[in-house]
């Protein structure tokens, strides 16, 4: 599928923040970490935004294929990561993770900036892609809105 096949509502909605405050202790983001970090707030159809708050760690945390499988029952719409987060520890894991998520129409939003400004665990998020046929990626304008 390409972004033209998905409804506009797929690119906006309720989002939950997966924050990694200690990247040295959480290099692999799998089911256990996800359950502890967002298990109490994630709902079906959510968007998951991943932030690495520990930029001093020698390694970036990486989302694992097992973590992607943990998300599957929630039918998330998007998975977003900041510049200090990886999708898989290596190319093989990255491809597996992409395959798991994209087979469920999960859009990946990479290289998000300014996530350190988020103060709430639940917020509204949208990333509107450029409408491109026959491509699985596109530029997008990403916006997070928190309630006051």
Q: What is the pLDDT of residues 13-51, one digit of tens each?
A: 999 999 999 988 888 999 999 999 999 999 999 999 999
Main-chain dihedrals φ then ψ at residue 59, nearest 5 degrees: -120, 145
C-beta of residue 80 within 8 angstroms of C-beta of residue 112:
yes
Q: What distance in Å separates the CA atoms of residue 141 and residue 8, rounded to the nearest whole number?
A: 14
Q: What is the pLDDT of residue 136?
A: 63
DSSP 8-state code for residue 18: E
pTM, 2 dp: 0.94
Q: How confident is the model at residue 11 (pLDDT cuts 50, 70, 90)?
A: very high
The confidence score (pLDDT) of residue 137 equals 65
Closest CA to 81 of 127, 35, 40: 127
Q: How far is CA 112 from CA 31, 66, 74, 85, 134, in A?
A: 23, 23, 22, 10, 24
pLDDT of 10 strictly over 70: yes
Backbone angles phi and psi of 53, in degrees to 5: -85, -10
Q: β-strand 107-112 against 47-52: which pairing, if any? A: unpaired
């Amino acid at each position: 599928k390409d972004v033209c096949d998905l409804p506009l509502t797929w690119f906006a909605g309720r989002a939950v923040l997966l924050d990694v405050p200690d990247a040295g202790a959480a290099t692999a983001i799998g089911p256990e970490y996800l359950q502890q970090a967002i298990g109490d707030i994630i709902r079906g159809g959510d968007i998951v935004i991943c932030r690495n708050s520990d930029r001093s760690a020698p390694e970036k945390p990486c989302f694992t294929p097992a973590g992607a499988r943990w998300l599957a029952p929630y039918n998330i719409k998007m998975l977003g990561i900041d510049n200090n987060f990886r999708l898989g520890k290596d190319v093989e894991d990255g491809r597996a993770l992409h395959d798991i998520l994209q087979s469920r129409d999960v859009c990946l939003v990479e290289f998000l900036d300014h996530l350190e400004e988020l103060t709430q665990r639940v917020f509204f998020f949208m990333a509107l892609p450029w409408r491109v046929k026959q491509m699985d990626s596109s530029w997008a304008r990403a916006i997070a809105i928190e309630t006051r």
